[in-house]
Amino acid sequence: MNLVTDIGPLYNQFSAVVSPDRKYYYMVLNKVEKRDFATNRLLATADVDKSYYSIQISSDGKKVYLGGGGDSILIYDTETMKLLKKLDTPGDAVLTHFRVQKR
């Protein structure tokens, strides 16, 4: 199994995450991109309200979480790439990494 693939130019993206089934990957900075993992084809994009530096995916692959953008976390549906929820967080912390855990 080849785990290294050329994803081409990143077009102003900061971080990426691969779906649990390894069919898609998602990238974020000033927008969210959904791409086909095998072909690198752009499947969908979604605008964000500011720069986000971290992206995580749920264990079932149904949601992506954007963080590291200051005072909020955005949650997107991976099928529709529509914003599901914006969580306001206290302060203005810009983190480049966060974790999503199921309780």
SS3 of 56-81: EECCCCCEEEEECCCCEEEEEECCCC
CA–CA gap between residue 41 and residue 73 (Å, rounded) = 27
Considering only residues 44 and 14, tell me which one the structure prediction assigns the higher pLDDT.
Answer: 44
84-92, Cβ contacts within 8 angstroms, sequence gap of 24 or more: none
**Which pTM was predicted?**
0.79
Residue 22 within a domain: yes
76-100 pLDDT per residue, tens: 999 999 999 998 877 665 555 566 6
Residue 8 located in a structural domain: no
Would you say residue 36 lies in a domain? yes
Q: Which residue range(s) make up the domain with 17?
A: 13-88
CA pseudo-torsion sign 77, 78, 79, 83 = positive
Percent of the chain with pLDDT over 90: 49
Confidence of residue 20 (pLDDT cuts 50, 70, 90): very high
> Which of helix, strand or coil describes residue 21?
coil
Residue 25, domain CATH: 2.40.10.480
